[in-house]
Structure 1
């Protein structure tokens, strides 16, 4: 039996491909005091039965960067370590059997081209030329990625472990970790049957066992195992190892050559969760196949390759894989247990992602913060309820199949809904609200008129709600709109050092009078934007922080961690305050009929907050807007919520007050150029690049995180700028990730988009890159701008200023 050290700088729990990659990359960074512990044998969890596909392209630019790195790493790993990996690059073909699917594939091909990934849009005949034995009668088109690859998952893992050991890392199998050492609220090491091992950091890469292990220490990890099927045929004559991987998403199947055999993988739309009462302590697990479930799926897959009916099956395999509620993996330091890093929940792309994940997490551990924007996979994006067994079991039924489903704009989950509802939910439903889900909150996205169903009918063109949202948008611009904003996260920071904490964390100056609302960003050391929110001083030693629903957990723990030894304490009061937005040029006159408070500019200027009476309630009114109009956000104690709502709607009558959803809000905010964290701004974007320099307290006395970085950038000039684009073509719809061209040269991607009903154009925000210090108004005006949608370029206007009310006169009216 191996002798264990009593301490290590980093302990890694799990000897699958992800744990091996983290160990390898830590060693490569010079951190050799690393101990990897595997409970049984390396790869015995899910790595051993993975298909081994290594695609390059994912849904976003940064996830694509991770997967491209994996491909590059695997291509040279055998030469570096002497361990075979089975790496080869037969390429991959994705088929479209509907016009909408082909539209989606062409969008991804445009993004691939922007990211430097070779991608070819094919006709059915051209696709058939690459895969002559497939049936193409229903094929509309295809996309070919010639450099996509595949590996032997077990061999790659062994190569990574061998490389790690060459760097001085210690790896041991048949050495289960029994628990964590926790001291002072922080991880201090691990426990095993041979004794304790102290460590500065612990990495949990335990695959589908990670959820239950982490739960013992109050760390919610939302992942759940599901049955995952594939079939392997007997050898097929003439099947070459150069045969491209073939993906047929509309038939929920993929095909890959495997030692002259064909592996037929399935991603069914209705999956079967596995081990709902907890993952058993098994290795190399196989699940008995449910033939009633899988046979129709195979029959559907065989329609693409009818010759398979005459080929004998060698194996029908069913094994467990873990899936998360949003089909993205979980990465990062647990906010509730510092020192514990997590890499788990890989949704069938663990092999594809492992190389990049290992590099990214190793850098995170060494540098103390992520070195790239990983928000979409960050552990902090989830709420604790996401890790509940019942929620996960219900959501997992859907998420496996979504990997091959259509990625519609605004697509909503069908499962595990109704988790969080505002006090107004039933009343809004009665008025035709169609709800979308964000962080568990059911939020009205639009309102269907009488006689119409409150439901989505998805499309890449104008969707069914387009004209209804247009009316909501116009009401906001011309009259009065009511928005249910209860989902916004609300925190109360109190104490004599509260201002000091916020000054250190916020780019804006927090030394403000009581009642002042401050729009600010919280930055990282590199000047990137970690949070985008408002802070209101409601008392001398009390501040109300308001941020988005999607970042509640992230922002709360980011602020909490920043308090340190300061004399301040933080409370999440989201559930205690319902929130209504009353927005539009008629909002002052409307609200004045409901309250005795003076709402004039002189008494209630923009970016201030007061307590007012409304009906019998005492509420907090905040003059702030995300739609670019005069308006107030009303923060209402939940016990008053329905009373205040009824007072407002009675006054609004049948016509004056329009109920508006988040799609109308998005349309308005795009016209006004307001940024959205997670789309337009994030950890790799600075306030200067994002056009938010006005929100920085350049002259404030207090130092703040990221100040040095953005002051240096201010002097040299940014290498990218966030612009607003407009395309005046009624057939064009912009969403995000459309390539941007200036004078025929590709300079960036859009970050968010939609239709501007007042501007009468497709509107998008997006970063354009160029020579640092030269990206000024003259550079923008002198260029010919275009945006590419499904392979076609459309002329666009570009501006640093908003197309709607650029001087914010309406907001301050």
Structure 2
């Protein structure tokens, strides 16, 4: 409903009433939230944001599970609402490389539950899209539930159906906080006290973030779209121009909003080889183009509506249509469309725009409660395609503590607002990376692709030594992390009979050196840079009691011991897996992975800690060497006076000691399944730590190893990786981690986990090996039995020690037993595979505990 006067108080204020804000408000009230207010600076429902200038095309298939799931939820919601036209979507291929890519689309669609994805022959494409020149294409991908949302109608539906109060023409001027909590939203029509505030401002996200001193890494980018004049080939198509905006206040050119609300009469189309898409608008064709240089807008210069213009629509720049300005495309949009859709050649345009929407540095949305300000939530960088789904996820998260869709809990690692590294909020960085994501939006991005720009941002203290050893650096979270070392090239010949070739797509950006490093570590000793992993210090008289309340395992451990555990949300799903070392009576070191882990896991611990407990996230304050392999004890004993024998320093224990002159916290743990230690030291000692170990181990043939070797070794041992094998979409029992749970203790999520156990675990993690192939499997590819899709590959690699290709997945429990035959589809091939008992390597742990 909508009212005129702004209230002085609300429980929740949603800033932004476009596709995302309306969805959030709708879903919050649907879940029972009361006193929800939604505000927008523009009129309702045509606010001046991207929701009504967007053509509304919804292609659901993505390599990301959560993007696909949210898109499908959105399409079902809006179809039931009567504002979605389900005409199907066809993506055409004009190159062999694109045909291979479309095969991947089919595999992703199967994995993530989209109905009936199909590959089409050229003539099957033109049966449904007769204006496409059949001679220009090699085939297509068809998703029958794709379509188009009528933006204005959908927004009006949300407003009508929601129990929230909506206020247009209301500009937010400030967000008030007190002691790190949201207290009020200031508007040009008055102040609204509130307990929670949601930023759903997309194009203005950076500006609203600045109100509370948050540098949200969201860049506005211009995008071209035109609608042709009437085409003879479409003569007689129904037109509804004038219906969508009748009686509504519309900023700027009403024709744009009207045109975008017209439904298509045939499948929506994409020509990703030329970064184009298209759909009908009555008797005209709408043509959209990413095929131009990135036109990034300074986020601080996003304006407001005027009588003459809509704030998120800039003037059409003809040169970007008629000239080839995209760095990776050799044809202009006009030339490519003339070839693909000859009927549009030389036609005038009745609508033109450079519409604005946003990109983050990694191209994914920004969802969740900000770690800096309690009660401040974000729902940003989201398109119409996914808006319904993310609105539901965020509403569930806010109301029930569990991010989920009706189909179940969802993985939040790739979308969490706390995932970004500290440098991501720099305006130059976020604009450059946002522009790069725009440039890549329809590109075929290789596995393990690496950017060229903004490199060298974060380097461990070992970087100079690693560079001298020929490290091939990959970037993750800004860190330069070695994937392999050219120094170890001589090992390839030594182990060549155990290192199969990985051809074509699976082999891109890989090296046989990764396998050689893996095998060398199993036989000798290696050093691995763990500096991207992070320590979190938990200290205080109540530190142990606090950890007991948040950790699923029994944390009643003695000083000098280490325990593996998980953090769970209220739904019993995994927020994090952690290693906890008790250093003193009231001092614990919690270690977590790299990438987005410090921000997400550390901020969660800080949020839940009582005033009597200090939680310090030590991201980059410490550097770490993983010293692993059967000769690791021999090397370590050479450089320390501490006793590192098995009797005095057993598995899963810790010590403060010296390595040469360097003070370290040594943890007797190993992520590769070999004897070994993690050596944590203050970063300023890092170079000395590396040199001390390196020099002492020369006669032992100590070697550096990179992330490639680590991945294959951890899969052989079945060690989990948060964000890949485990996340907020599974509980620890499903993930095969019952040893990390003690239901005799009290912890967050226990009740839900106990109920799940009582009801019976019907989905379980499963380790698969290929029956007769050494090809490495890629994530997101479907796992089937008897023609039915059961799950998808979470992680895969070749296990060089066990000499088998390994894939981890989740399967219905009846299929998860060892010996079950399944199939994996990957890169157009179907591979026979078998469920195996895990771990595949050293199941008795003889190597790791000796």
Distance across 2 between alignment mates of 1:776 and 1:67? 29
* Structure 1 position 450, deviation (Å): 8.7
Q: Deviations over 1:369-411 (max 9, x none)?
A: 4233241222122234212211112212201122212243222
Q: Post-superposition shift, 1:142?
A: 2.1
Give the structure 2 partner of residue 287 of structure 1: 314
SS in 2 for 1:575: coil
The residue aligned with 1:238 is 233
Going from structure 1 to structure 2, the CA distance change for 1:668 and 1:204 (only over 3 Å counts) comes to same
Instruction: Give the drift of 1:358.
Output: 2.0
Q: What is the rounded CA distance, in whole Å, between the counterparts of 2:504 and 2:440 in structure 1?
A: 16
The 8 Å contact of residues 401 and 571 in structure 2, kept in 1 or not, is answered as no
Cα offset for 1:731? 5.8
Structure 2 length-normalised TM: 0.88
1:788 aligns with 2:825: yes
CA deviation profile, 1:128-149 (whole Å, cap 9, x unmatched): 3333333455644321112211
Q: Distance in 1 between matches of 2:42 and 2:284?
A: 30
- Report the secondary structure of 1:157's partner residue: helix
Q: Which residue pairs with 2:198 in the alignment?
A: 203
1:725 Cα deviation from its structure 2 partner:
0.5
Q: Equivalent residue for 2:587?
A: 542
User: How far does the alpha carbon of each residue in 1:239-266 deviate from its partner, in whole angstroms, 9 at most, with x for none?
Assistant: 3643322211121111111222222212
In the alignment, is the contact (CA less than 8 A) between 2:8 and 2:191 conserved in 1?
yes
Residues 766 and 267 (structure 1), Cα distance of their counterparts in 2 relative to 1, 3 Å cut: same
Q: Could you tell me which of 118, 122, 125 is aligned with 2:123?
A: 125
The residue number in structure 1 matching 2:26 is 24
Q: For each residue in 1:171-225, what CA deviation from the matched residue of structure 2 results, as whole angstroms up to 9, or x when unmatched? A: 1111112212323321122112332212222121112212222223133421011
Partner secondary structure for residue 310 of structure 1: coil
My pick for the range that moved more, 362-371 or 514-523, is 362-371
Provide the secondary structure at the position in 1 that maps to 2:739.
helix
Aligned to 2:496: none
Task: Report deviation, 1:230.
Answer: 1.9
Q: 2:800 and 2:134 mapped to 1: Cα distance?
A: 41
- Distance in structure 2 (CA, Å) of the matches to 1:451 and 1:272: 43
2:607 corresponds in structure 1 to: 561
CA separation in 1, counterparts of 2:98 and 2:504? 10
Q: Is 1:622–1:632's contact at 8 Å kept on the other side of the alignment?
A: yes
Please tell me the root mean square deviation across aligned C-alpha atoms, in Å.
2.4
- Secondary structure at the residue paired with 2:298? coil
Aligned 8 A contact 1:398 1:415 in 2: no
From 529, 533, 548, the counterpart of 2:578: 533
Does the 8 A contact of 1:382 with 1:439 survive in 2? yes
Query: Which residue of 1 is the match for residue 273 of structure 2?
Result: 250
1:695 aligns with 2:740: yes
Superposition deviation, residue 10 in structure 1: 1.7
Q: Which residue of 283, 293, 303 maps to 1:260? A: 283
Aligned-pair distance for 1:661?
0.8
8 Å Cα contact 2:506-2:777 kept in structure 1:
no
Structure 2 match to 1:7 = 9
Moved more, 539-548 or 131-140: 131-140
Secondary structure of 1:49 counterpart: coil
Partner of 1:96: 93
* 2-structure distance, mates of 1:251, 1:602: 65
2:186 to 191, 211, 221: 191
Summarize the alignment of residues 114-193 of structure 1 with structure 2, pairs less than 5 Å apart: 114=111, 115-137=113-135, 139-164=137-162, 167=163, 169-193=164-188
Q: Deviations over 1:33-68 (max 9, x none)?
A: 222111122331221211201223233333322211
The equivalent position to 2:618 in structure 1, one of 548, 565, 573, is 573
Q: Does 1:324 align with 2:324?
A: no
Task: Quickly say closer, same or farther: Cα 1:269–1:789, change in 2 above 3 A.
Answer: farther
Which of 546, 549, 558 is the equivalent residue of 1:504? 549
Structure 1 residue 76 corresponds to structure 2 residue 49? no
* 1:100–1:459 contact (8 Å) kept in structure 2: no
| Match of residue 358, structure 1, among 374, 377, 391 | 391
Residue 43 of structure 2 is matched in structure 1 by: 41
Mapping of residues 574-653 of structure 1, within 5 Å: 574-653=619-698
Match of 1:298 in 2: 333
* Residues 546 and 65 of structure 1: CA distance in aligned 2, closer, same or farther (over 3 Å): same
Provide the C-alpha distance between the structure 1 equivalents of 2:504 and 2:33, rounded to a whole number of angstroms: 49
Q: Offset of 1:644 from its aligned partner?
A: 1.7
Return the alpha-carbon distance in structure 2 between the equivalents of residues 340 and 592 of structure 1: 51
**Range 705-714 or range 749-758, more displaced:** 705-714
Cα distance per residue 1:722-766 (max 9 Å; x no partner): 011111444633121222234554322221111212222221111
> Measured at CA, do residues 499 and 451 of structure 1 come closer, stay the same or move farther in structure 2, by a change above 3 Å?
closer
Deviation of the 1:508 alpha carbon:
1.4
Q: C-alpha displacement at 1:531, in angstroms? A: 0.6
Match of 1:415 in 2: 453
Q: Give me the whole-angstrom Cα distance separating, in 1, the residues matched to 2:94 and 2:579.
A: 47
Asked whether the equivalents of residues 728 and 760 of structure 1 are also in contact (C-alpha less than 8 Å), the reply is no
Question: Which of 473, 490, 496 in structure 2 is aligned with 1:435?
Answer: 473
Give the deviation of 1:478 after TM superposition.
Answer: 1.6
Secondary structure in structure 2 of the residue aligned to 1:759: coil
Q: List alignment gaps of at least 5 residues for structure 2.
A: 238-263, 325-331, 491-501
CA distance in 2, matches of 1:411, 1:499: 42
* Residue 426 of structure 2 is aligned to residue 388 of structure 1: yes
* Structure 1 stretches lacking a partner, 5+ long: 79-84
* Paired residues of 1:491 and 1:573 also in contact (CA < 8 A): yes
Asked if 2 retains the 8 angstrom alpha-carbon contact of 1:67 and 1:356, the reply is yes
**Is residue 777–residue 806 contact of structure 2 (8 Å, CA) maintained in 1?**
yes
Moved more, 443-452 or 382-391: 443-452
Given the superposition, is the C-alpha separation of residues 672 and 219 from structure 1 closer, same or farther in structure 2, using an over 3 Å criterion?
same
SS at match of 1:133: coil
Check 1:102–1:23 CA distance in 2 against 1; reply closer, same or farther (3 A cut).
same
